[in-house]
Structure 1
């Protein structure tokens, strides 16, 4: 424009210097060719403006369409960082007329949106393809439509829906693969270790049998084999024998089979361990040469376990006879100590049964020696307790006999010295009984503390029996309280004045002793395990 202004100014100066007339008709006549060319240029530029405006409208239509595909409002795109980052953003907003800069800006925006749609379509296509494979692998229902139906819907919500579904299905696949691998590995191990015959009427068992033929496994009775993490994709692959798959029902069926086999394994394993450990221990005890020892197989087959049980029983019979022979040397001593220590027949039988469970004579000798030392430790207290029990029992029997004959009128015709003697005995027998009760309760508590076990007579703890007997006697309506087997509750007015305060005193004392009995019982619970080795 400066060049045009310069030429017009130079032409105007020439006309002024020449003194040429400058009226409009003369000037238009001189510049008619120039004005014609300028008009042509203006027309051309107006055409370019219209074409540019149409091109911008087309680009805007494309942008609007792409915004619909992306699910984003056009206004948001124009205000987004994607558009603001262009160099013509400020100029575009200052000049709303069509311009080449605006065209370039919109073209760049359109290209970026096209690239975004292209990338999203690639992702969606890949995701839907992976989802289709996972659905087929998991034998689930396809949750999405074909890819072509998503061609015009690349919104963020659609992308999120598909990507999250792919993520969830991938997790399900991973979980089921691990469950499948663990279950089928356990089944393979249990089938071999338990010598299980497949059920050929079960299609799953047939497929498992065909799968196991091609995969070797280390057969050892080792619980860590099941506990360790399985190597992925040893048994699983996409071309497995039908009906094996990652379908939920198939995986659940495999897990149930593995759990059922594990239950059998858990039952047989302790038996196998017991027999094998016992057999090897007895071999060492009897010094049996290696060439005469049978081979121990790594198998939990039912028939083989029965064979081990028979062999163990034969060897155990030898050790049992040796144990009996050894015990016979101490039988008299043991029975004497048992009697002195007031052991019940059940405790004696439990001790003998425990000895017969041992597999070596060294263990038998140790247990017998410890038991004898234990009995020798408590025999003095046991003898004192037995003496008090006998003395109390005899006194009660004398009181019962006296109470039976007290109402006999003929006793009044006896000699006076005999009646005086009976009267003196009658006055002292009940205080003596109360004293024996106190001493016996104290002796029982002391014996239980030393022996670290409750003192049992018959099938019941003796201290409980003693407390019940004392309580029944205090409420009994007979003279001494021994004839009536059922307690009879009466008013204390029927009790003699001499006996009433003493009876109350001892009832309170027995209640206090029950508290002591509770403390002793707590000690039994704490020492129960340590005492078991002596009984």
Structure 2
């Protein structure tokens, strides 16, 4: 269609020229211009037309050449841009005209140049932000070779790198703020004034004075640790002074009102509080010098109480006897008493679990002896209200507890002696020797009581007369010889014999002819059966003819410890 239009325009152009020439000829004819002049004028027209056409041809040829050059230039630019931007080479379509090719190449070059400028601008902004963060954090900037155009992947990695640095900065700022707040708080609590440049910078209000580096964080953490250790040391000093002051208050019997007022008026700053405690201790020590004898006597009382709590024997106490009984009351003597008191307190703190176990064994041992004493008392069957049942349960509980405590003591004492390197003594004896001694003394006591009962029984037997004698009642009448004996009669007779033996008088037998009620007989049988069932293994053991060394409840009962 376009070619037809151009051909029509060319035909119309030729027609127009022909008509114009014919018109010129007509004009020339009407004017009467001669042939030579006509030729000259027609040549002039020809030159004008040919010149115009030649100019147009020249311009169009120049345009064609310019387009060709542009194509070459654009192709070269595209190759460079694709190489710089890591893109695939641009491929030109084959069926395009030169003008269309030039246009496509130009548009592609413009698009890539725009993208390149955007990348360079974004790279500059990101690198500036990265440099600022790396300078604050003393980190390594993201590496992109100088003079190269970054790819989109590199720009994305740079964005992630900046994001990580931003998060790290937030985290470090939080850590820095927390450390500086803690350091300032600890210093304020201690009343400590900054001495070094690091301490001054740590409590400075300028938040940008520190670079957010790992080294600075470590330095602040170390400073905080030092401040906390110093605070702990001051607290220990404060506690020592406080304990010393309280001990002196008690020794000197200072009024409680003064003590309360002093403690209520203490400041919240640790260094100032320590200073006041030091002043109070100094005042009390000066007051103590004027009352040395009274103070030393109180320390001695406290020392005796602590010795008893530690269960020290005579040998453990006699090493301090020269000072304990020294009547020359001096400050040196007081310091020796204080040192002994401190050492005994330290021992009590270390050995308190063992001492508590020994004390628990002593309590159960006392209950055991009490139950043994009650078991030999015949009057206990006259109790009512479930007393015997309750006593039996408690007895079983004690019998189970003693061997457990002995085994526990054996184990923990071995461990304690191995760790401390010294023997653990109780009232001058090792623990198991102390327990063995208690059992031996108990065995001897029971043997002694048994011998006394046997001796008394023999004396009572000798007082009985084997021949038959006439028995008199209350009214002096003769009682038949074959009188029926009831359980009550037997009991009364036994009591009469015991009474006559103790008073060394003649024996009188009381006959009771009345038969006791059946309920009374059953009650006596139940009491007898209950007494037999409640007899402890320790009682049965003593009745056997065995002679052995007893060192524990398990050995005493002849049964393994539970």
Please give the TM-score of this superposition, normalised by the length of structure 1: 0.43
Higher relative contact order (CA 8 A, sep 6+): 1
TM-score normalised by structure 2 residue count = 0.41
Larger radius of gyration: 2
